[in-house]
């Protein structure tokens, strides 16, 4: 006797799925409090009219971020799922991506087809990056209040993320952050990889990030057609 | 496949190390094996209580899991074993966790040790099969013997709460490792007993499998599943 549904669970791991056959997966990582959840919320508001979106959150303590997104009503509840990470958020997005892959696939099964799945990491350290087996592109979110020396310190998130977002630039005068120095340091660490300075909670603040995601989506769709 | 005179195929011993490694990417890191609930209830506090917790788990659900795994490796019908695992897992929360972990292990196994038996299992039970059954079939795909699968299941049953206890209690990691080392002889005997049970199950059917259970683990799992705030998925 089983409660197994009739649907076929996607058995393959990500690498064996044809590009374009599923939603584009974008990971958002970064230190605690830098504005990852705010970025996800703002991206959903900016894109939801034209893009079918799902969100997977990874919390240290279960559902905090998912509940925030639900309260903010950025998406219908069934489009937001939380993954529990067993005290190691970086493990769940990098070393053992099993639970996140399942969450993404279940989301696509339940409410799909989706164009875009945003996978938000639990707040972690500067070494946390997403596995290429889980996401197609990753955004690393830092903020000026966390210290303007973070770009100089580097680490895999800062140096290798497909997009680096330096958030809360409106706070720079109050915390004594030197934005120009951050830009020079980031360019030195990242070479040609893009860096966006913004404040995602301010009017229009999410627009450059949304535009970048839009470009990735267009590239993803181009493969399918 | 393994040969029948107890001598594994080349590479099998290293494959067992890989399969039993806590870092094998099959989702286990997010689970505490009941340790988080036991810590909250005050039953798991230090190295001494960790040893008792692991011993209790090993000789009850650990033996059942190891026997299921050994039976699956030796060629018993995995769907029959899956039903047998259901019948031996009274907690609905634990059944759900076991199937989820089985599904995650199956994904990893199909990528690491591809085999038609694994594909067939995924097609037959798209929502997941109990983890020990998948573990047994994975072991077979890796060229391992039923006893190897029993060892992997028995060791997993004690190593999962031990590593969770390090994170939950700030327990000295050397002490946690020493607890596992002290349990090694018992892991041996449980794995051997499980192998025998697996052989009987192949001959007489799944009813021959052991059915030990740990009511406190079941109750703890049910309570834990309802917590609003927790570090581990189970």
Q: Summarize pLDDT for A30-72 with one digit per residue, the tens.
A: 998 899 999 999 999 999 999 999 999 987 665 677 788 888 8
Cα separation, B131 vs B169, in Å, equals 27
Residues of the binding site of A for GTP: 30-37
Cα separation, A85 vs A186, in Å, equals 30
Query: Taking the alpha carbons of A73, A79, A46, A201 in that order, is the dihedral positive or negative?
Result: positive
Task: For residue B32, tell me if it sits in a domain.
Answer: yes
Cα separation, B149 vs B133, in Å, equals 10
CATH classification of the domain holding B54: 1.10.4190.10
Residue B36 domain boundaries: 28-225
Confidence of residue A221 (pLDDT cuts 50, 70, 90): confident
Return the pLDDT at A3: 35
Confidence of residue B18 (pLDDT cuts 50, 70, 90): very high
Q: Above pLDDT 70, what percent of chain B? A: 97
Task: For residue B5, tell me if it sits in a domain.
Answer: no
Using the Cβ of B123 and the Cβ atoms of chain A, whether some distance falls under 8 Å is answered with yes
> In this predicted model, what pLDDT tens digit does every residue of B150-183 receive, in sequence order?
999 999 999 999 999 999 999 999 999 999 999 9
Return the pLDDT at A16: 41
Confidence of residue B7 (pLDDT cuts 50, 70, 90): low
Return the pLDDT at A61: 65
Total domain count, chain B: 1
Cα separation, A49 vs A47, in Å, equals 6
Q: Which of B32, B83, B104 sits opposite A98 (nearest CB)?
A: B104
Task: For residue B12, tell me if it sits in a domain.
Answer: no
| ipTM higher than threshold 0.90 | no
What mean pLDDT is predicted for residues A133-151? 93
Q: Does the structure show a pLDDT above 80 at A15?
A: no
Return the pLDDT at B137: 98
Contacts for B204 with CB less than 8 Å, ≥ 6 apart: none
Using the Cβ of A86 and the Cβ atoms of chain B, whether some distance falls under 8 Å is answered with yes
Pure H helices in chain A: 36-47, 64-71, 89-90, 98-111, 150-153, 156-160, 172-175, 179-190, 207-224
> In this predicted model, what pLDDT tens digit does every residue of A85-115 receive, in sequence order?
877 788 899 999 999 999 998 899 899 899 9
Task: For residue B172, tell me if it sits in a domain.
Answer: yes
Using the Cβ of B219 and the Cβ atoms of chain A, whether some distance falls under 8 Å is answered with no
Q: Among residues 8-37 of chain A, which lie with CB inside 8 Å of chain B?
A: 8-9, 11-13, 15-16
Tokens matching residue A4: 């197994």
Task: For residue B7, tell me if it sits in a domain.
Answer: no
What mean pLDDT is predicted for residues B181-189? 98
Instruction: Spell out the domains of chain A, with CATH numbers in brackets.
Output: 23-219 (3.40.50.300)
> In this predicted model, what pLDDT tens digit does every residue of B106-123 receive, in sequence order?
999 999 999 999 999 999
Confidence of residue A225 (pLDDT cuts 50, 70, 90): low
Q: Do residues A119 and A93 lie in contact, with contact meaning Cβ atoms separated by under 8 Å?
A: yes
Cα separation, A89 vs B151, in Å, equals 29
Task: For residue B174, tell me if it sits in a domain.
Answer: yes
10 Å CB burial of residue A76 (0-12, 13-18, 19+) is: exposed
Cα separation, A89 vs A94, in Å, equals 9
Cβ of B124: how many Cβ atoms within 10 Å? 12
Residues of B in contact with A5 (CB under 8 A): 126-127
Q: Does the structure show a pLDDT above 60 at A139?
A: yes
Mean pLDDT lowest for which of A14-18, A38-42, B8-12, B178-182?
A14-18
Task: For residue B6, tell me if it sits in a domain.
Answer: no
Return the pLDDT at B6: 53
How many angstroms away from the CA of A86 is the closest CA of chain B? 4
Return the pLDDT at B3: 45
Return the pLDDT at A60: 66
By C-alpha distance, the chain A residue nearest B92 is: A3
Return the pLDDT at A70: 83
Q: Do residues A213 and A26 lie in contact, with contact meaning Cβ atoms separated by under 8 Å?
A: yes
């Amino acid at each position: 006797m089983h409660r197994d549904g009739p649907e076929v669970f996607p058995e393959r791991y990500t690498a064996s799925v044809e590009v374009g056959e599923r939603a584009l997966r974008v990971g958002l990582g970064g230190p605690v409090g830098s504005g990852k959840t705010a970025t996800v919320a703002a991206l959903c508001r900016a894109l939801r009219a034209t893009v079918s979106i799902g969100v997977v959150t990874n919390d240290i303590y279960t559902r905090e971020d998912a509940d925030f997104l639900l309260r903010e009503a950025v998406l219908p509840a069934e489009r937001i799922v939380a993954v529990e990470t067993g005290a190691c958020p970086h493990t769940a997005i990098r070393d053992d991506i099993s639970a996140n892959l399942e969450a993404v696939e279940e989301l696509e099964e339940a409410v799909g087809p989706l164009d875009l799945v945003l996978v938000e990491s639990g707040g972690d350290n500067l070494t946390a990056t997403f596995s290429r087996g889980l996401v197609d592109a990753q955004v690393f979110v830092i903020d000026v209040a966390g210290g303007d020396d973070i770009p100089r310190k580097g680490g895999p998130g800062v140096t290798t993320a497909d997009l680096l977002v330096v958030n809360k630039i409106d706070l720079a005068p109050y915390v004594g952050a030197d934005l120009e120095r951050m830009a020079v340091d980031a360019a030195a660490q990242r070479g040609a990889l893009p860096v966006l300075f913004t404040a995602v909670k301010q009017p229009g603040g999410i627009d450059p990030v949304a535009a970048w995601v839009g470009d990735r989506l267009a590239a993803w769709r181009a493969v399918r057609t | 496949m393994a040969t029948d005179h107890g001598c594994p195929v080349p590479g099998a011993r290293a494959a067992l190390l890989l399969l039993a490694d806590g870092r094998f990417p099959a989702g286990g890191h997010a689970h505490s094996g009941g340790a988080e609930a036991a810590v909250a209830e005050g039953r798991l506090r230090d190295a001494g209580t960790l040893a008792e917790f692991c011993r209790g788990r090993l000789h009850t659900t650990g033996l059942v899991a190891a026997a299921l795994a050994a039976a699956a490796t030796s060629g018993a019908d995995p769907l029959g074993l899956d039903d047998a695992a259901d019948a031996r897992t009274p907690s609905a929360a634990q059944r759900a966790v076991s199937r989820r972990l089985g599904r995650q292990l199956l994904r990893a196994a199909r990528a690491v040790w591809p085999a038609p038996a694994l594909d067939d299992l995924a097609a037959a039970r798209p929502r997941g099969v109990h983890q020990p059954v998948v573990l047994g079939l994975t072991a077979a795909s890796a060229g391992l013997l039923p006893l190897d699968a029993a060892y992997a299941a028995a060791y997993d049953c004690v190593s999962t709460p031990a590593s969770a206890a390090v994170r939950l209690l700030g327990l000295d990691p050397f002490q946690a490792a020493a607890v596992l080392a002290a349990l090694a002889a018992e892991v041996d005997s449980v794995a051997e007993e499980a192998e025998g049970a697996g052989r009987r199950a192949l001959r007489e059917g799944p009813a021959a499998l052991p059915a030990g259970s740990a009511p406190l683990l079941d109750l703890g799992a049910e309570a834990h599943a309802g917590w609003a705030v927790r570090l581990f998925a189970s």
